[in-house]
Structure 1
Amino acid sequence: MIDAAPRQITEAEWIEARRAGLDVGMQLAQSASGIDGVLLGHQKRLLTATHIYRVVLCVKSRRIGATWGIGSDAVLTSSKARTARGMDTFYIGYNLDMAREFIDVCGMWARAFNAAVSATEEFMFDDGNPDKGIQAFRIQFASGFEIIALASRPRSLRGRQGFVIIDEAAFHDDLAGVMKAALALLIWGGRVLVISTHFGADNYFNKLIEDAHGKRNSYHVLSCDFDEALHDGLYQRVCLRTGETWSPEAEAAWRAGVINDYGDDADEELFCIPSKGGGAYFPRPLVEARMNGDLPVFRLERPDSFTFLPKEARKSDILAWCEQHLEPALKALDPDRQHGFGQDFGRKSDLSVIAPIEIGKTLRRTVPFLVEMLNIPFEQQRQVLFYICDRLPRFTGGKMDATGNGAYLAEVAAQKYGVLRVEQVKMSADWYLENFPPLKTAFEDSWITLPAGADQLDDFAIVTKLRGVPRIPDVRTTDKDGKKRHGDVAVAVVLAYAHTRGTLVEFDYRAASTDRAGTDAGLADDVDDGLRDWWKPPLGAGIR
C-alpha cells in the first residue's frame, strides 16, 4: 500500500502501485468460477465475518457493492433447511426504495443459485400496530424461511427470529432502538449485521464503532474504504458493466475523478473517516479524576555539554541519579504484581518519557511513577531504561516508540529483554485508532491511575480527533518551566496500557554469578554486555 493519506495519492503513484499489485492471485480470482469468482475480496470478507461473529459492524465506502454481496448471504441463509442452520432474514433500510432494491438483488441471487422460491411479493407487514402495518417486500423459499425487506421501525423485529441486516445504519432515525430490538434475536441463535457509510463523528453508528474498539461491546468491526475496494477489483467490475477496457492508467484517472466529485466529503463518503471530528479526545476532568498526587514524576535534564563528557563520568552521574530517585520508588513496588512499561522517545525538542505500569489484583492498572528525560544522550537513556526494567517486579516487558531516533533504544531493549517482551512500535494513525479507545475506556471506567500534574494533564488534553482518528497533532504545549511538550506522557501511557492488554510473557531466571551484587549489573557498557546479562538459564516461564 502507498504510505500517504488517500486524497494525497497522485494518479502516477496509483498507477505504479496497481501495476506492482497485479499478481497471479488476482488473475486466478478473476478467472474463478462460482460465487468465489463473482464476489470481490471485501465482499467475501464480509460474508465470512457474518458467519463467524454474532454481531458485525461494517463501515464502508459508498457504492462498493457491499449490500449487493450481502444479498447472496441472505439467500443462502434463508434457502437452507432448519437442520442446516437456515433462518429468516430481515433487511431494514432507512426507506422503502432500499427495501425494494434489496429484494431485487436477492431475487437475482436466488435465480443464480437455483434456489427453490415459492413466491416474491409486496405485502403489509404486521408490526403489532392495530391501526396499520408496514409496506414490505418478501421472498419465500421452499425451506419455509423468507427474506423480508422493510423500512426502519424498531418494533418490526419484536417477536421475530433470524438474521438481521441493518443497511446504511447511520442514516436511520432511531438506530439505537432498532439495535435494541435486533439484539434480542441473538438469544436463539440469530445474527446481526450493521452496515453503513459514516454520517458524522457524533452519530450513534460511530459510537458503536468506538465502543467496539474500546472493548465496551463484543462486536466485530470490519471496514473497507474506496482504495481497498479498488485493490479488490472494483474498477474491473465497473469496466465489465460499461464495456470499457481496464488499465492502471484508466483506473487512476477514474479514481481521481470520483474523489474530485466528492470534494470535501471524500474522506467520509469514500475513506471511512467520520466528519465533524475534532476537539479534545480526553476531557480534562476525566483524566484529572484518575490522577493521584501521591505518585511521583521524576524529571531528568542535563545541559548540552553533558553529552560530551567522558563515558564513565556520564554513566556515574546517571547512576547516582537513579539510585537517589528511582531506587526507592522501585523498591516500594508490590513484588507479587506483574509490571511492564511504555516509552515515548525524545531527545532534545521533545521529552523522552518512561511509564512503568502495574497490573493490580483486580486488574486495575497503576502507573506508579513517571520518568521525564530532556536532552539526555542515547546511552544514558538506555542506562535509565535498563535500570528500571531490571528492577521491575515480575517484569513482563513493554512497548516502545520506535519511530525515528527511537528505533535505536527500542532495538537495544528488544535485544536485551527479548522480542517477545519488548515490542518496537511504529506509531501510526491505525495504531492510535486501535489503542487510544481502550485507554479512554479505562479512564471512563476508573480502571487506571497515574501520577498527577498540570503538565501531564496537558499531555492528555492535546490528544485530538483528526478526521475521526485520535492522535497527537503537530503542535507543542509549554510546561511550567517554559519547556516544550508534545503529548509525551499520553503516548508513553497508551503504549504501557496497550502492553498490558496483550499476551504477557514472564521469565524467571537464576543469575550466573553474584560477584557483581550491589553494583549496577544491569547497566551494560554496550549491547553485547546487556545480552550476556539477560541470557541466563531459565528456571521457568509463564504466559499470562
Structure 2
Amino acid sequence: MAKSPKPRKSDIVKWALLPYQSAWVKDKSPVKVCEKGRRIGISWAEAYDDTLYALEGGGNVYYQTFAVDAARGFINDCEYWLNALRNLSLTAVEVDPIDYLHENTTAEEQLSIKAFRIDLPNGREIVALTSSPRQFRSKGRPGDRAVLDEAAFMNDIDESIKAVLAFTIWGGGVRVISTHDGIDNPFNILIDDIKQGLKKYSHHRIPFSQAEDDGLVERVCHVIESHKTEADRRPVDAAMIAAKSEEIRDIYADNADEELECIPRSRLGAYYDAVLVRAARHPDAGNPGLADPDSLAWVGIDLARKQHQWVASIIQDRQGKTRLVEEVILPDAHIDAQDQAVSGIFTRYNVAQVFADEIGLGEGYIENWKRMRPGQRVNEGRGNQWVSSINGLKITGVRAQGDRRFEMADRLKAYLEAGTLEIPDDRELFNEFSLFRTVKSPAGSVTLQTLENRAGHGDRVWALIFALAAKDDGLVEAVMASGRLDYDELMDHNPDAARALMMEAYNKRRMTPQLPYQKRSRGGATW
C-alpha cells in the first residue's frame, strides 16, 4: 500500500488557514497593514508565519501589543504552531516559553514591563512585549521582523511605528494589525494615508463579513463542538452556522460597524440615537400588503447605478404616525429598471410627491422620469392623476448639500425623537443608521458624514430622509423649483402653505401667479 505523501509547510496554509488568512501570510511586503474585524484570527495566522520565519532562520520576531494577556496569547499561539509542525514531522524543535524581565531597566520599569519569549536552537527568538516604543530602539538587525498587534489601542502608536520602520533598512519587515478605535485614531490616519497613496505600504482590509464569507463562522462552530463531550456534540450544519452568526452580530449590535466591519467611529459619535431607532421599529412597517392604496404616499429616492444601491422609500400617515410602508431596492440597476420601478410606485400608490437625489447622475434620471409617457393615466382607478401632471410638480430633484444636508437629516432625527416614525425591524436598515456621523474639522466646524459598509453608504436611510422631506415640504418646494403655480394642486395638498407661497411669490416676484389669493374651483368659479 502506497504511503501518504509527507505534508509540506505550504499545506498548512491550505488546510489550516482560511482564504483571507492565507492572503495575509502570503503577502511578503516589507511593511503591511491590516484593518480587521474582531476575533477573525489574523493574529493567529501571523503567529504561524512568524514561527515559520524564525524557525527557518529568517530573523528574530518582536511582537508588541497593548496588554500582557495578549502578549502571552501570542507566544502560546507560536508554541501551538511549533507543536503542529513537529507533529507533522516538519520540525524536531521542542521549546518551552519562558518569562523574563528586561535587562537594563529600572526597578519601576521592571514592575510594568514583562516579556514572553521562545528561544530556538538556531539562535533565533520570538519575543512578545507590551507597548513601550523604546523597546524597539536596540532591535532591527538584518532580517528581524516587528509585529504591532491591536495597534489602535497602544499608548503611543506613532512612536512605535516610527521605531519599527527602522527594521526595513536591513531587510526586515513590519506588520501592523488592528481593529479600529475611532476615526481620528493614529491607526485610522495611517490607513487613510495608505489609501491616499501617501504611504507605500501593503494594505489588507478584512471586515467580519468577508471573514464570514470565507468560512470563519463555520470554523468557529467546528471548534466549539470539538471541545464538547461526545454526548453533547452536534453536527455543524447551516442552521447552526446561521444562529452563531446572528449571535455574534447581536453581541456587537451597537458597535458592529467599528468592531466587526472596519468602519471607525467619528470624533463626535453617532448622529442618530440607536435607542430611538430601535424604538421606531414596528412589525407592520415595511409590509406593502398593509399599505392603504387610497391614502397619500410620499416617496424618497436615493439614486445609484454602478455603486451602492438604488433605493426608493414609500411612506404614509397611519394612525397619527408616519410609516415606512415599502422599500424598493435595486442593486446595480439599469436606467430601464429604475424607470419601471418609478412607474410601479405611481401605479401602486396615491403619490403626493417624490423627492429624488439630484446630485451626480440624479438630474438626468429625474428629467427622464418627468417626461415618462406624458398624457397617459398612471392608474385608471385614480381619477385625475396623470403622468403629465408629474412634470415639474410630482417629482422634484433635491441636492442634499451643505446646510440642506443637515436640515434634511435633522428632520429624520426629529421624527425619531418625537416617536412618530415607524420603520421595519430590519437589521441591515438599523446598521445603516449607525453610518451617519458628525465630524469636527480641525477648524472646529461640524459636518455630517455618511460612512460606508458592504451594503452602501446609508442608501436606505437617505431614501427615507428624502421621503420625509417630500412629505413635509410637499408641493411647496416643487412649485417654487418649477417657477410656476398650479394653485389647485397646492391648495388641495396644503392650504396654509398655498397661501403663504402666494404671498412670498407676490412679494419676491419669484413667480407670476394668475391672480393672487384667488382659487379656481373645479366648476370654474372663483373666490
Structure with higher Rg: it is: 2
